[in-house]
Each structure stands twice: as structure tokens, then as C-alpha cells.
Amino acid sequence: LFSACGVDDAKRLRGIFGNQDSSAEDIDYALRLMEETGARKKVAEESSALAASSEAMIGDLDGADGTYWSLLQELVDYNMNRIR
């Protein structure tokens, strides 16, 4: 997000991220920038690709049909579907 926005936007974002006192307006501003710059879409695409890669690696593990495989698969599913 920082590399996709201008200097002034990046400066404001630095004050928002990690700041527990950020206002609702600040959060809306950051979310709007994420949409406008395409950062949200790019992260979603990269996350999906990494999840698919992880699932393939899990499937290649020895004994991948047992309990541990299920737990690893659940972990991938959780990370892709959790409410952020």
C-alpha cells in the first residue's frame, strides 16, 4: 500500500497503522486507499495463490491422508476465511 500511494498518503498511513487511537475516519481513509490503489485486490490474489501452493505441499506430505493433514488443511482454510 505504501509503495502504491503518494508521499502525503504514505505519511498519513504511517500515523494510522499500529496506532490504537486511530479514528473511524482514519480507518475509512486507509480502507479507501487500499481499494483505490488496488492493494486489497493484490493481497487477495497473492493470498489465494499462497493458499493453493500450501494445499499442494500438504497433499505431497508423507501420510497426508491422516489427522495431521486435516489439521494443516484446517489451518489454511482458517487463514483464508477468518474475519479480519
Percent of the chain with pLDDT over 90: 52
pLDDT level of residue 52 (50, 70, 90 thresholds): very high
Separation of alpha carbons 14 and 4, rounded Å: 14
Q: How far apart are the first and last CA of the chain?
A: 17
pLDDT above 90 for 65:
no
CA-nearest of 28, 26, 24 to 12 is 26
DSSP 80: H
8 Å CB contact between 48 and 79: no
Q: Please tell me the chain's helix, strand, coil percentages from 3-state DSSP, rounded to the nearest 5.
A: 75, 0, 25
What's the mean per-residue pLDDT of the chain?
A: 89
8 Å CB contact between 1 and 32: no
